[in-house]
Structure 1
Amino acid sequence: MTAGTTHATAAPTGSLRSARFYITFRCNSLCGYCNVWQDDKFKGYDELTAERGREILDQLHALGVRYVDFTGGEPVLHPHINEIVQYAKSLGMTVEITSNGIRFAKHIDAIVPYVDTMNVSLDTLRPDRYREIRGVPTLDRALDVIRRIAATGSGNLKLICVVTRENVDEVPELLRFAQENRVAIYFSTMFEYFEDQDTVRDFNRTQRKLKLVEQNGKPVDDRPAPCGSGGGGGEPTGGAIAAELLGLLHQPYAVINLHFRKYVEALDPSAPTDCYANKRILTIGPDGRLVLPCYHAFDNSVEWDRDLSELVQNEEFIRVRDEEVGHRKECRGCTVFPYIGLSFSYRFDKIFLYQALSEEIAKFKTRFADPLHPAITPDLDGLRRSYADLERFIDQGIPVPRPPASPDLFYRFDVTGTGIRSELLAGETSLAELLGDHVDEYCWGIQRSPHVWIRMLYRDLMPALTELHAGSRLPRGAYEATVAALYEVQLAWWQAYLGRYFTGGQAIDTAGPTAVVAGFLARTGDLLPDAPQSDRIRQILLHAGCVLGLAPESLAPLAGRTPFAELALTVKHLLLVAADADLPGYAELLPAHAAEPLLRVLREPEPRQIGPAEPDADDPELSRLLQHERTLDRATAERLAASLRGAVPEQHRADLTARLLAHELRTPHLIRRRGAELRLRGIGGAGGGASPVAVGSVAAGSVVAGAPAVGSPVVGSMAVGEETPPA
C-alpha cells in the first residue's frame, strides 16, 4: 500500500461530529462540472421551514454534531437561510457556508457575522469565461459581494478557485485579486464528479495521478506541457496544474491543500474508498432526509419522520453506511474532498502529516504573515527547495504504514516484550503513551508528531508576540523579521523532528534544519522584553530546544521556574534523546519538581530489569487502563486504545492525558531505555553522534542555514543536503 492509499472500513465508534446540510438543491448557476442542476433526481424537493430547520439543528446538536456546512445548490435561495444559519451559531456550532455570490449581497449582514467560514466560488475574472464556466453572466455581482464582505473586516471570507485547463492561465490574476482585497484564496484541482447519477466514472482517467476530470469531460492529455500563460507548447496537464499550484504554497493569501494532492497521487481506483459520508459526516437533504449513500451518488434516503437519533439506527441507514459507502463502483477513485478529507484526521500516516503541514502553513500565513503583506517578502525559491527536501524525505525516507487493525485506532502497532512499536515512530513507546494518543478523537492529540510544537507557535507564541508588538513592547522591524523567519522555521522544524523521532530519520542529515530552528530560538529569546507575555514565549522556545536536544547551556536564557502545560512532555523528550552528561544541565533549566525524573536517572543505577510502575491505587480509571501493562498482548492493547476513542468527554481529555504522562514519568529509566535508539542518532542525523547544537551557535545576523538577521524581512534558504533518502 503506497502513501495515502485508502481502505474502506466499517463505521468507527464515537459521536457524529459533522453535517453537510444541502439546504436546497436549487441553484442560480449552470456550472458545467456540476451534476445537480442537470439531474432530475435533485428536482422537486420540499424545503424546510424556519421552525423545522431549527428542529433538525437541535437534533444534530444532540447527536454530537458541532460543525455544520450549509451548501446546495445555492444556499441563499432558501427563504429562511438567515434564521437557520443564525440558529446554528447560537447552538455553539462551527458554521460554514458556500455561495456563488450572485444573490448574496442582501444576506451579508444577516449571515457573515454568524459563520466561521464564508466561502465564495471564484474561478475567473473574465466575464466571457465566467459565463462559460457558470452558465450565467453575473461575474460583476460575485466580485461586488467579495469586495463588500472583505470590507467588513470579518476575516472569515475564503475564495474557492477550482483550477482546470480552462482557467489555469488566470491563476496569477486571481492571486493578485485576492491579495489586493486581502482575502485568502484556496486553489484546488477539481473533484471527480459523476456525469450523472447513474454513470460510473472512467477508472483509467482517475487512476492517472492528478489527471482530474476537466469541465467538458474530455480525456486529459498526458503530454508534458507548460502551465500558466507563458511558454507555449500545448495545454497544461493535470500534473502540470498541480505542480504550478504547489509553487503557490508560500505565496501570500494563497492556500494549497498538500494532503488532497497526496491523496490523489496515491489513489487506487480499484480499491474501496475510506469515505466518511454518513459515518462521521451526516448528509442532510433539503427536506431533512438523510441522503444515502452521499450527495454525489444520491439514489437512496431515509425520510426525516422521527428523531435523527432514531434514524441513524435505521436498518437501511446502517446497511448503506456499512456495506455501500466507499464500496460502490462509483465510490472507487472518488476525489470528493469534503467526505474523504475528514478521514485524514483519523489515520496517523503520511497523508495526516501532509494535512498537518498544510494546515499549519495556512494558519500561520492567514493569521500572522498575510496581514503584514507586502512588508515581508518570503524567499519563495528557497522555500520551494526546503519543501522539496521535506517532501522527498516524507515520501521516500519514511516507511508506508499499514492500516490499523480497527477503525477506532489511529495507527497499527505491535507489542514486544519491552514495549510497543508503531511503524512511523522510531524506538518503543509505552501503553500509557498509546492510550494518551487515543484519548482525543483525532490524530491531533498524538504526542510524538511534529505538528505539536507548530501548534504552540500559532496558538500561543505568535499571539503573544503580536500583543507585545501592538503594545509597543516589540519594535516593528523585529516583529516582522520574526514572522518572516517562521516561513522557513516551520519546514526546518518538521525535517529536524522527523529526522530525530521517525523511522527512517537516521538516513538524513538534520544539522541544517536544526541550526535554523536554533537560530530562531536564540534571536526570538533575545528580543523579549520584561513582560508577562514573554514568560509563555520562553516556555515554548525552551520546549522546542529540549525536544531537539540543543545544548542545555545555550538554552539558559530561556529557563524558568514557572510550570507550563507542556512541561511533562518536555521532560519525556529529554529522557528519550538527551545524553547522560547533559541531564544535569537540562535539570537546571526546569522547575525542581519537573526535573526530578532527570536527576533520578543520574542518582539511581539502572535496574537490570525494568517494568512499568504500578498504577496509582487512588486513580481507579488509570488502574483499569493500565492493570495489564506488565503482561500486555496486542489484542488487549488494541481493545484498550479503541475503547478510549470518542468515549472520554472532551472536558476530561486533557486531564486523562496528563495523568497517563505522569504515570510514564514515574519510571524514567524505562523511558530512557526505550529512547536508546533515538540517542544513537544525535542531532547530525545520518548516523552522526549525539553532539548537541548550541542555540547561540547561530547568532543573529549569521548566514548559517539561511537564517535572516533580526530586522531583515527576507527568509533565507535552508542548507540541507541534496541526497535523496533511501526508499
Structure 2
Amino acid sequence: MRLVSHPVLCNYYVTYRCNASCSFCDIWEKPSPYITVENLKENLRDLKALGVKVIDFTGGEPLLHRQLDLLLREAKAHGMITTVTSNGLLYPKYAERLRGLIDMLHFSLDSPDQEEHDKSRGVKCFDKVMESIEIASSFGERPDIIFTVFEDNIGKIRQLWEDICLPHNLVLILNPVFEYNNVGSNLSKESLAELQWWAKQKNVYLNEAFIQLRLDGGNRVDNPVCKAASTTIVISPENKLVLPCYHLGLRDFPIDGKLFDLYHSDEVQKLVALEGRLPACESCAINCYMQPSFAVEMNKYWWKALPSTIKYNRMKGTWKQMVRF
C-alpha cells in the first residue's frame, strides 16, 4: 500500500568534483561545474511545491562549493531539513560558516586505522575527520560517522565504535557497500548477519531493510521495491533533472526554472513509471534510493526499516522536525 505519492527527498549534486578519489566511487572522475544560488532559489520554490521535505547537498565533496553556507541558508528558509556528508578535509576551514545550518551532518570514516582509511579514500584525511569531529561537537552539531562496510573492514567496526563513536557520543551509521557500474562489491551472508547484530547496539544506526533486500537478491523488475524516481528528485550540477536516478541516469532534462512543471510533464512521468522496472534495475540495492523507497510504501521492507528509523530519530531528535510536516 502506497503511503506517500509525492517526492520526499532531493539529492542536490552541488558539484561532481571531489578532493578525494575513493576506490568504491566514480563520481569524482567526472568533469563538473558548480550549482548557482540563483538556480537553487528557483528550484527550492518548486521542490517545496512538489512536497519535498529533505534536501541532501551532495557531490562529489559538497564543501568544495564556496557558497555552501548560502545554499544551506536558502534551504532552511524554505523549511527544508538539510543534510551534508563530507570527507572532513575542508570542514575545519568552513565550520564556523556552516554552524547551525546542517540538520544531519555526516563525516565519512571507514576505519579506526589512519593508514587504512586514507588508503581507501585515496588522500590523507583521517586526521581532518578527527579534527572535524572535535570542532563540530564543540559547536553542538552532533555529527554522525558514516562507515561504508566492506568484507575487508567489517572487523574494524568495534574498534571505531568503542574508540571514536562512544567517547564522543556519536551515532555510527553503517552503510553496506553496494555495486553499480562495475564499482563497489557485495557482502557475504555471514557479514550481513554480523551487521544485523550491530544494528541492535547502542549509538549504531543501520537500516535493517538494507540487509533484508540483499538477502532477497535486491530489487526485482517484475515486482520492484525501488521507488527512486517518485520519491527522490535528483538535480545535477548542470541544473538538470536526472532520471530515473543518479546511478542509472538514462535521461536528463534542463530545468530552466520550471522544475514543478517539468516533473509533471508526460515525458518525465513516463520515466517515473518505469522506476525499478528497467533491465539495469534488476538486483539493485543502492542505499540512497532504497531508503526513501522503504518509507513510502507499506510492505515487508517498510516494517523492517521502521525500528531502525525510530531509533535514529530518537537518538538525533529529528522527530521534532518531522512532526512539523
**TM-score after normalising by structure 1:** 0.41
1:286 is paired with a residue whose SS is: coil
Q: For residues 149 and 32 of structure 1, do their structure 2 counterparts lie closer, same or farther at Cα, with a shift above 3 Å needed? A: same
2:221 is paired with a residue whose SS is: coil
Q: CA deviation at 1:104?
A: 1.4
Q: Distance in 2 between matches of 1:365 and 1:49?
A: 34
Unpaired runs of 5+ in structure 1? 1-8, 197-211, 215-236, 368-457, 460-649, 654-727
1:191 is paired with a residue whose SS is: coil
Q: Does 1:116 align with 2:103?
A: yes
Amino acid at match of 2:47: L
Q: Contact conserved, 1:112 with 1:118, CA < 8 A, in 2? A: no
Amino acid at match of 1:34: C
Amino acid at match of 2:243: L
Q: Distance in 2 between matches of 1:354 and 1:269?
A: 15
Q: Contact conserved, 2:62 with 2:68, CA < 8 A, in 1? A: yes
What's the counterpart of residue 213 of structure 1?
Answer: 185
What's the counterpart of residue 259 of structure 2?
Answer: 308
Q: CA deviation at 1:364?
A: 4.3
Q: For residues 266 and 166 of structure 1, do their structure 2 counterparts lie closer, same or farther at Cα, with a shift above 3 Å needed? A: same
Pick the structure with more strand per residue. Answer: 2
Q: Does 1:298 align with 2:249?
A: yes
Q: 1:65 aligns with which of 35, 40, 52?
A: 52
Q: Distance in 1 between matches of 2:267 and 2:314?
A: 44
1:113 is paired with a residue whose SS is: coil
1:21 is paired with a residue whose SS is: strand
Amino acid at match of 1:139: F
Q: Does 1:257 align with 2:207?
A: yes
Q: For residues 49 and 332 of structure 1, do their structure 2 counterparts lie closer, same or farther at Cα, with a shift above 3 Å needed? A: same
Runs in 1 of length 4+ with deviation above 6 angstroms? none
2:83 is paired with a residue whose SS is: strand
Q: Does 1:37 align with 2:28?
A: yes
Q: 1:96 aligns with which of 83, 87, 104?
A: 83
Q: For residues 310 and 271 of structure 1, do their structure 2 counterparts lie closer, same or farther at Cα, with a shift above 3 Å needed? A: closer
1:120 is paired with a residue whose SS is: strand
Q: For residues 53 and 73 of structure 1, do their structure 2 counterparts lie closer, same or farther at Cα, with a shift above 3 Å needed? A: same
What's the counterpart of residue 76 of structure 1?
Answer: 63
What's the counterpart of residue 17 of structure 1?
Answer: 8
CA offsets per residue over residues 400-422 of structure 1, 9 Å max, x none?
xxxxxxxxxxxxxxxxxxxxxxx
Q: For residues 307 and 187 of structure 1, do their structure 2 counterparts lie closer, same or farther at Cα, with a shift above 3 Å needed? A: same
Q: CA deviation at 1:326?
A: 1.3
What's the counterpart of residue 26 of structure 1?
Answer: 17
Q: Distance in 2 between matches of 1:12 and 1:250?
A: 27
What's the counterpart of residue 188 of structure 1?
Answer: 175
- 1:145-164 equivalences under 5 Å are 145-155=132-142, 157-164=143-150
CA offsets per residue over residues 14-59 of structure 1, 9 Å max, x none?
4333211111111111111112124xxx32x432222222222222
Pick the structure with more helix per residue. Answer: 1
Q: For residues 37 and 169 of structure 1, do their structure 2 counterparts lie closer, same or farther at Cα, with a shift above 3 Å needed? A: same
Q: Distance in 2 between matches of 1:163 and 1:345?
A: 23
Q: Distance in 1 between matches of 2:280 and 2:3?
A: 22
- 1:192-341 equivalences under 5 Å are 192-195=179-182, 213=185, 238-267=188-217, 271-272=221-222, 273-323=224-274, 325-341=275-291
Q: Contact conserved, 2:6 with 2:230, CA < 8 A, in 1? A: no
Q: CA deviation at 1:293?
A: 2.1
Q: For residues 173 and 360 of structure 1, do their structure 2 counterparts lie closer, same or farther at Cα, with a shift above 3 Å needed? A: same
Q: Contact conserved, 1:260 with 1:337, CA < 8 A, in 2? A: yes
What's the counterpart of residue 161 of structure 2?
Answer: 175
Q: Contact conserved, 1:252 with 1:365, CA < 8 A, in 2? A: no
CA offsets per residue over residues 502-546 of structure 1, 9 Å max, x none?
xxxxxxxxxxxxxxxxxxxxxxxxxxxxxxxxxxxxxxxxxxxxx
**TM-score after normalising by structure 2:** 0.89
2:85 is paired with a residue whose SS is: strand
CA offsets per residue over residues 41-97 of structure 1, 9 Å max, x none?
x32x43222222222222212322221111111111112111001110111111111
Q: CA deviation at 1:340?
A: 1.7
Share of identical aligned residues, percent?
Answer: 25
Q: Does 1:128 align with 2:119?
A: no
CA offsets per residue over residues 435-456 of structure 1, 9 Å max, x none?
xxxxxxxxxxxxxxxxxxxxxx
Q: Distance in 1 between matches of 2:123 and 2:218?
A: 36
What's the counterpart of residue 620 of structure 1?
Answer: none
Q: For residues 261 and 170 of structure 1, do their structure 2 counterparts lie closer, same or farther at Cα, with a shift above 3 Å needed? A: same
Q: Distance in 2 between matches of 1:332 and 1:26?
A: 29
Q: Contact conserved, 2:88 with 2:125, CA < 8 A, in 1? A: no
Q: Contact conserved, 1:159 with 1:185, CA < 8 A, in 2? A: yes
